[in-house]
Structure 1
Amino acid sequence: MEKVRVEDAVGMVLCHDITEIVPGKFKGRAFAKGHVIQEEDIEKLLDLGKRHIYVWDLSKGYVHENDAALRMVQAAAGENIVFSEVKEGKIELRAACDGVLKINLDTLYAVNSDDEICFATIHGNKQVTKGKLLAATRVIPLAVKEEVLERFEKACKESKTPLVEVKPFRPAKIGVVTTGSEIVSGRIADQFGPVLEKKAAEVGATIMGQVFPGDEPEAITQAILDFLAQGADMVQVTGGMSVDPDDMTPSAIRACADEVVTYGTPVLPGAMFMLAYVQGKPVVGLPGCVMYAKRTVFDLAVPRLLTGEKLTRRDFVLMAHGGQCQNCPVCTYPDCGFGQ
């Protein structure tokens, strides 16, 4: 910040508000802090009694807050991100489509380690809808040194993934395999189907069919393979997912799996969730809570899978922090602490 003569301040950034008082008529702001002094402003400033003002000199390696915010957004934004016009030095980033928000936490923490940078986001790895506010950024001072922005841009450029992006949902066909002799015999009605239809619609997917093979592991395995042969992008298997001796679903999934990522998660509701890959496609075993609880591990994992992300056991381990649903009377997911 420098104190300079008004006549020498053209092109510099005003560091403070300048008030105008007209007795009996007006008292208010004539020039706002952050204003870039123009040639035509000089006479007005002199009329206000300002012969010297405090400014940032943009000719000495400083960048105005508005220009700085734009450069940071351009460096940080990945796919499917739109951003607002700059307002008072701040730009907002929003989702350009429905999908799953991905935040590169290493990069986020690195850029915010500079005390002149503010880049704030919501939590990642959650489902977002088009237009959702995801993040906002600005610099702290009214003008920032060029080297600060260069550090920001370098951190984003060297990152393996963008600081912020939205992975869109892929059009997906889902096969549902509902196990249980009590269902196939007609003793009780299936209640999983309607729930999964609704959840599929939330992410732009379709249920291509639902079958009821009973409890025989071989029949369950064959039902999974049949759906994959018909072009399913995912198979969801319901029922028989507990550790009871007569629950055969996990072993039936294992019988055809190329890889079992997890059977069991540190998420409640949803501890008995299973993820395997069969012929490169995700097959999920769904515990009973998915049928009746508002939100479960299903809502943390399946949307990510439907963007094409390949989840690992570590992804599920990380869900432990925030993995306890509060079962609120009015569910606000994903705008809550579940899964964060």
Structure 2
Amino acid sequence: MTYIKTEDAVGQVLCHDITQIIPGVKKGPVFKKGHIIQEEDIPVLLSVGKEHLYVWEKHEGILHEDDAAAILRDICMGNSSEMSASQPSEGKIEITAAIDGLLKINSEKLLAVNSLGQMMIATIHGNTAVKKGDKLAGTRIIPLVIEEEKMKKARELAGDKPLLSILPFKPAKVGIVVTGSEIAKGLIEDAFTPVLEKKLSEYDTQILGQQLTGDDKEKITNAVLDFARKGADIILCTGGMSVDPDDRTPGAIKDTGAEIISYGSPVLPGAMFLLAYLNHNEKRIPLMGLPGCVMYAGRTVFDLVLPRILTGEVLTAADLAAYGEGGLCLGCKPCHYPNCGFGK
């Protein structure tokens, strides 16, 4: 750093905070460390008694923290219209969602950039459903200045695609197949469908209807295929998902000819969840078998999978297996989901 006259400091970078004290009114920094001095700042600096300043000396190949922070911003979001960013301040930039959708993160490359040191990108968890205005990430350069070469390395590690993206939710028509002989016979009221209606109402979905099939395996199969013919984008089968002999839903789903991706998930609540895909008229329809916990538990595996399905993402057995770490819901009262570790 170097010591120069205040009048000569335009364009220079402050090495320390400049404090302004107005008795009984204010005491605090009028300019913070790292501030780039502007022409209009000179009278203010002189008014607080700063006739000389310590500033950083500019060197070839060295970037100011705000310039470097802008590089981290570009690494995170590129030119995406799905996100917006704050102006750099003290090497920090905040990134927020500009649309509703599902946040996706390239975790491997995020780790690579953060492992470089002297810079950081902190995000919320990937595969989180976000709304416009939600905070997604914050970036910061740790020192006041940083080598340009180091930021080039960060760009190289990040690659050509932004580390963050938001997949918009797609409108979907949903068919609901309600199993259980006691419901079909009218002995008890269907309590499952109202729960699904509430969860689906969080997204742009249309319920095509519900079919009460009882526990008849053939009727369950036919109901699924009927919804496929009616143009369903997603089909949900409620109940009958355990290994008891009279629970017929998994077998009925298999008889539709659907590809079973996984019967079972490392999530509690939701261990007996089934995910399959039914090919019908060149359309790949997600087909889910929902265990009883979806009806009575606040949040379950269904809440983790549904937003991903609604983006058009095709899930694999490996995607479901990855939910094991974080897949234990603690049943907090009140529920904080998605601002918690469930599924993350």
1:17-28 aligned within 5 A: 17-19=17-19
Task: Return the offset for 1:25.
Answer: 11
Q: Which residue number in structure 1 is paired with residue 295 of structure 2?
A: 291
3-state SS in 2 of match to 1:202 = coil
Tell me, yes or no, if the aligned pair for 1:83 and 1:93 is still in contact at 8 Å. yes
- Taking structure 1 as the reference length, the TM-score comes to 0.90
Mean Cα displacement is larger for which, 139-148 or 107-116? 139-148
Alignment of 1:149-164 (within 5 A): 149-158=151-160, 162-164=162-164
Q: Which moved more, 1:256-265 or 1:326-335?
A: 256-265
1:55 pairs with 2:56:
yes
Deviates more, 1:19-28 or 1:231-240: 19-28
The residue that corresponds to 2:149 in the other structure is 147
1:209 and 2:213 matched: no
2:166 partner letter: V
SS of equivalent to 1:245:
coil
1:191-248 CA-partner distances (Å, limit 9, x unpaired): 1111111111112212111111222222111111111111111000011100001111
Aligned to 1:104: 106
**Would you say 1:323 and 2:324 are equivalent positions?**
no
State how 1:194-273 maps to structure 2 within 5 Å: 194-273=194-273
Pairwise CA RMSD: 2.6
Instruction: Return 14-23 or 179-188, whichever deviates more.
Output: 14-23
Alpha-carbon contact 1:180-1:239 (below 8 Å) kept: yes
- Contact 2:14/2:53 (<8 A) preserved: no
Q: Measure the CA separation in 2 of the matches of 1:23 and 1:109.
A: 48
Task: Give the residue type in structure 1 aligned to 2:13.
Answer: V
Aligned counterpart in structure 1 of residue 124 of structure 2, from 122, 125, 130: 122
Query: 1:67: how far off?
Result: 2.5
In structure 2, relative to structure 1, the CA distance for the partners of 1:60 and 1:4 (3 Å cut) is farther
What residue number does 1:3 align with? 2
Q: Counterpart of 1:203 in 2: which secondary structure? A: coil
Number of paired residues? 336
Amino acid at match of 2:188: I
Tell me what 2:309 maps to.
Answer: 305
Could you tell me which amino acid in structure 2 is paired with residue 316 of structure 1? Answer: L
- State the alpha-carbon separation in 2 of the partners of residues 81 and 45 from structure 1: 40
In the alignment, what sits opposite 1:174? 174
Unaligned runs of at least 5 residues, structure 1 = none
1:175/1:141 Cα in 2 relative to 1: closer, same or farther (>3 Å)? same
Q: 2-side partners of 1:331 and 1:242: how far apart?
A: 26
Which residue does the alignment assign to 1:339? Answer: 343
Residues 6-51 of structure 1 show CA distances to partners (whole Å, capped at 9, x for unaligned) of 4775433112124567999997646431122456767956994665
Displacement, 1:281?
A: 1.1
In structure 2, stretches of 5+ residues that fail to align are none
SS in 2 for 1:151: helix
Q: What is the CA-CA distance between 1:117 and the residue it aligns to? A: 0.8
Q: Is the 8 A contact 1:12 1:55 kept in 2?
A: yes
Structure 1 window deviating more from structure 2 (19-28 vs 71-80): it is 19-28
Shift in Å, 1:318: 1.0
Paired-residue identity, %: 52
C-alpha distance in structure 2 between counterparts of 1:193 and 1:45, whole Å: 70
Q: TM-score, normalised by structure 2?
A: 0.89
